[in-house]
Structure 1
Amino acid sequence: MKTSNPVLSRLGQAAERERAAGYGQAPGQPGYGQPGYGQPAYGAPYPTATGGYPASPPAVRPMTVDDVVVKTVTLLGITGISAVAAWNLIPASATGAAWIGAALVGLVLGLVISFMRVANPALVVTYAVVEGVFVGMVSKFFESFYSGIVMQAVVATFGVFFLMAVLYRARVIRATPKFTRAIISIMAGLFAVMLINFVLALFGVNTGLRDNGAIGIIFSLVCIVVASLSFILNFNEVEEGVRMGLPQRYSWTAAFGILVGLIWLYLEVLRLLSFLQGDD
């Protein structure tokens, strides 16, 4: 299971360890009955259950594209419900605290999930809830200044997402090894710049990177382009994960990646729209 994508490599290795530990595959799936895939060697008897009856080999159903779609829709629904609840239930006096608290908790959860070697549905769902609070507070803030901006940002975000899906499906944009390395490197660079900008802002240093000016608009446009292209990596991860026969629960990891991209794109679109409306 070799791939140029580090995420897939990590998940593929975890899946191999599961098989080596005794997790088999369902009959009819690739690798079923083959030595080294959680099955006995040819000619060796299966272990027997109590009473001497043959025990069925443990089965792990591989994930499918439908699994990822269902998990992604589920996470989006949870995030949306959490955002609406936060918007309506958290008082204005606690908006700042909820905004910052949710952002920090979401960052920690996101890093934990990203570096875990095993998919954890509970953590992914918790992340969706926390990010829903964060998105709800940010959206409420922008909507208070620019009426209708939230709906515009939502429509634009999903419009870009489906456009990237069509381009990937048509193979107009492909996740080649060079493309993958470039996007991952640029994303890492952007997050580093945003983190440095945040730290500088705490000490009263304004770089203009997130202000309504030429620098801020250009930076937001760059982020939007990179966030959009990151979906190509997500789609490729799903496609390759299905091909590699990763266990079904890894669909949560794939859905998590898509959710992160959608939230990032939404926030950048929201910020850019505020810049453009602020010029009127």
Structure 2
Amino acid sequence: MALNNPAFNNPAFQDSRGASTYPGGPAATQYAPPPAAEAAQLDGMYASPPAGARETGRMTVEDTVHKTLALFGVLVVTAVVGWLWTMAGVTPTNPNPSIAPWLIGALGGFVLAMVNIFKKQPSVPLIVAYAAFEGLFVGGISAFFEFIYPGIVFQATLATLSVVGVTLALFASGKIRASAKATKIFLIAMVGYLVFSLINVGLMLFNVPIAGGAFGLRSIEVMGIPLGVIIGLLVVVMAAYSLVLDFDQIQRGVRAGAPRKYAWVGAFGIMVTVVWLYVEILRILAILRGND
């Protein structure tokens, strides 16, 4: 107890009248508890949840997840529109699905993707518009392939979700991380893949014999395996690493205290990669089904 502390008897802690001036001693000013209103306010502050992105104006993982889900919500809605539009003209006398929805969606999505990638400041309307066009593209191309190969969309969706889930789990556990060397290899592979794709499309447009088959050069077999399957599997690995880069970018943004609007950039990057992954898996399955 303070009253029995021997330090109080030390002259250094006594005034001219011999009263103790030791902190916390009998003559010291005692702590006065705050008024009830202030105490209740303090209790409320401590009990309230931590400040989120809205309160801090900073980018958070949770806010990025919410924005990503919102973009995929837009994509699903317009994908339904694209699907119905593609199948609207199919009749017993006209068994040909329309390719207009996914061509319009692909063109609009590509233009908006380029604008969003090179835009200095993120634009929410442009990012949402991109999600809408991508939904039209995904819905249209999915309906087209589903008409030819029933059940392929479910298979592609399940495979895409599996790759995304495994990649996210490995990244969260720290087993895979983005590195300068891996990113350099990824960029070189991306350039090579883009060059191959452009050449393949050009050969198909001009009906060059070497690019025979529904998938052009991808239909050529190498030791009995379609080239499109071999390239497709490599591209799936590339897309998985692209997801790692997306997750890493979001993590870096959160740690750096980036403004909240950059959560839209993270959500946009994830959508671009997931759509790319889905289309590539859809094409691999179509090539395999076509060879059955």
| TM exceeding 0.5 | yes
Higher relative contact order (CA closer than 8 Å, sequence separation 6+): 1
Alignment equivalent of 2:218, drawn from 198, 210, 213? 210
Alignment equivalent of 2:241, drawn from 229, 232, 244? 229
CA distance in 2, matches of 1:196, 1:107: 18
Alignment equivalent of 2:254, drawn from 233, 242, 250? 242
Paired residue type of 1:278: G
Alignment equivalent of 2:85, drawn from 84, 89, 95? 89
Residue identity over aligned pairs, in percent, reads 41
Q: TM-score, normalised by structure 1?
A: 0.75
CA distance in 1, matches of 2:288, 2:147: 16
Between 175-184 and 66-75, the greater mean CA deviation after superposition: 175-184
CA distance in 2, matches of 1:212, 1:79: 33
Q: TM-score, normalised by structure 2?
A: 0.72
What runs of 5+ residues in structure 1 fail to find an aligned partner?
A: 1-27, 30-58
Alignment equivalent of 1:159, drawn from 162, 182, 194? 162
Shift >6 Å, 4+ stretches: none
Residues 128 and 185 from structure 1, CA distance in 2 versus in 1: closer, same or farther, beyond 3 angstroms?
A: same
* SS in structure 1 of the partner of residue 219 of structure 2: coil
Residues 147 and 94 from structure 1, CA distance in 2 versus in 1: closer, same or farther, beyond 3 angstroms?
A: closer
Residues 212 and 224 from structure 1, CA distance in 2 versus in 1: closer, same or farther, beyond 3 angstroms?
A: farther
Are 1:149 and 2:152 matched, yes or no?
A: yes
What is the CA distance between 1:193 and its match in structure 2? Answer: 2.1
- What is residue 68 of structure 2 aligned with on the other side? 72
- What is residue 170 of structure 1 aligned with on the other side? 173
Alpha-carbon RMSD across the aligned residues, in angstroms, is 2.1
What is the CA distance between 1:215 and its match in structure 2? Answer: 1.2
Question: Deviations along 1:190-245, whole A, 9 cap, x unmatched?
Answer: 12321232233222235343337421211111111111111110110010011111
- What is residue 12 of structure 2 aligned with on the other side? none
* SS in structure 2 of the partner of residue 71 of structure 1: helix
CA distance in 2, matches of 1:209, 1:63: 44
Question: Deviations along 1:78-98, whole A, 9 cap, x unmatched?
Answer: 111111122113533782222
CA distance in 2, matches of 1:155, 1:212: 27
Whether contact under 8 Å (1:212, 1:275) holds in the other structure is: no
Residues 100 and 210 from structure 1, CA distance in 2 versus in 1: closer, same or farther, beyond 3 angstroms?
A: farther
What runs of 5+ residues in structure 2 fail to find an aligned partner?
A: 1-49, 90-95
Are 1:132 and 2:128 matched, yes or no?
A: no
Larger gyration radius, structure 1 or structure 2? 2
CA distance in 1, matches of 2:97, 2:265: 32
Alignment of 1:94-109 (within 5 A): 95-109=98-112
Question: Deviations along 1:166-188, whole A, 9 cap, x unmatched?
Answer: 11112221101112222223223
Q: How many residues align?
A: 224
Residues 192 and 246 from structure 1, CA distance in 2 versus in 1: closer, same or farther, beyond 3 angstroms?
A: farther
Paired residue type of 1:261: T
